[in-house]
Structure 1
Amino acid sequence: MTTEPAIRVKDLRKEYPGRDGPVHAVAGVDLEIPPGECFGLLGPNGAGKTTTVEILEGLNRPTSGEVEVLGRRWDVEPTAIRERIGVTLQETRFPDKETVRELLTVFRSFYSHGLTVDGAMARVSLESKANALIEQLSGGQQQRLAVAVGLIGDPEILFLDEPTTGLDPQSRRQLWDVILDLRGRGRTVLLTTHYMDEAERLCDRVAVIDQGKIIALGSPAELIAKLGGEHVVEFGVEGEPIDPATFAALDSVLAARAEADGYSLTVGEPHRAIPALLDALDEVGRPLARLTTRHVSLEDVFVALTGRRLRDDEIEEPAVGGRNGRRWGRKARAAR
């Protein structure tokens, strides 16, 4: 396998004119993705991830910076790049009265080489729907058809922009199997997603992008380890809100934050943190309304880095450092 990056980006920038001056959608992104990697790009709406992906796909032009896809540049060899990549957009509309086989036959004609129509259908488990009209397909089946269109040219890189948004759990899992199959075949996949469990399950590495810049990069396990704790304790109390700083100094607590429906503690050892929490609530006379524990996830990393969750627009309070002095999270702000 070649050691040349499948994707290389250096100081990528994209500006749009705005009423109060230029809007920096992408503000200096540097990135290298090796061949055969499933790479996840995570970020809230307006963070710059879709603009970045559109530039890599050749659908948008950068204001400045260097972009190479499979060692080629869009301004020099666009046709050569298109022959070797596949794209699945966030939303795709196909003619309702066309069959699955007819649609894939049309797209196969655009490539000098690639999969057979039957082979593309088999990759996404749509063989039984070959002669069905597109309007007769379920939402999950239509999304798998969109992936089949991206695969028909047997691409070396497949771009998937939020491919499972809005799908039911079974349809999501079916698409996961398609992506894992591609990864097993040594193909490069660049995936944007709003689902943290999806990124953890599928991606070798992820980049968190916010305000047009990459603010974290690494494997899901590496990013999770940087939080310093292995567990999260989530709880609610009855009555008026409590300052999360009250909990930050408790035994084994590394960080504490207020959330929309309660509080979240990142802890090293739950068996030490939970008794300390119960004692603290007894001291202030506040009954515990609920309590759950779970392992730290990529979602917690995202909240710690950006101050908000990936899939909602609610304001998140910044985390307060615990006994070891850690401080994660940014100034509370509403998602754009």
Structure 2
Amino acid sequence: MKILIVTDAAPPQVNGVVRTLTQLQTECAELGHQVDFITPGDCFTLPNPLYPEVRLSLFAAKNIRDYLDREQPDAVHIATEGPLGCAARRVCIKENLAFTTSYHTNFPTYFYQKMRVPRALSYKVIRWFHNASAGVMVATEAVKQELRDFNITNLMDWTRGVDTSLFRPTGEKIMELKGPVYIHVGRVSLEKNINEFLDLDLDGTKVVIGGGPDLENLKKKYPDAIFTGPKFGEELVQYYNLGDVFVFPSRFDTFGLVLLEALACGVPVAAYPVNGPIDVIGDSGAGVLDHDLRKAVEGALKISPDFCREYASSFSWQNCAQQFLDNLVLIGDTRKAA
């Protein structure tokens, strides 16, 4: 099967969407399928005024049409609701091609919490975008239910995975720190609520691993915390292994791949009981979810690293890829719109 994925999220961006799509391409290739991408790198772009490192694609419709005419893919998947995703949606509808989409970020809750944009208004846009698709792939049951509540249809399961051969306990510390050590890995930006982690009154050391637009501001505001910048591959694994607890203060993620990476390294999770942590951690015992984040951290310190590792091993990227492919088979030939 030849699959086109159109996405506004692509390297050099570092986030869960990029990691998921990159791993998906690798796994699909091993299963005998070809995945091609159209990304901002293929288009004329301008920097996002809020996040300059994120490029906004303009005039992308011609590139998309040219690819479709030339390559005749068996399936088209639109991964994001940005300018490039909207262009692909418009082209597919005009060309009478069925397509699938995926829902990665809880924008309605984020816009309400930060700017008081009514969730009903944001969901109207989300509904407009996704209900035109033949299927909307969603990572968790909680997110599916929320989308159903706002009349978004054609929902399909699409789980996530973790590479347990890479993310693992190493038994080594990359640096000596006063314990307990509380870590956070991810994009350092406003919507991740990292300040709520850094504001906690905890004995020990706080470490933030990642880059983003809020990094310099947080460095100045929290001089006692350690900010490493972005880390990748084996070096990232070493930083995960610093942690006694992985603190995840986000309220807006739909899944949170970093949760699985931390657990695979034997680091228990402390988080709010919101979408993402509820589905990844739930009542598994691999972490503690509490509206009082400090209580969650204190409870997570008591969890066995071995148990966390064992729990993470139940998630695989191969299953993720197979579920994605099965969804495309259910949709059928995208050259014939539903």
TM-score range, shorter chain: under 0.3
The two structures have a TM-score, normalised by structure 2, of: 0.27
Which structure shows the bigger proportion of residues in strand conformation? 1
The two structures have a TM-score, normalised by structure 1, of: 0.27
Greater Rg by CA: 1
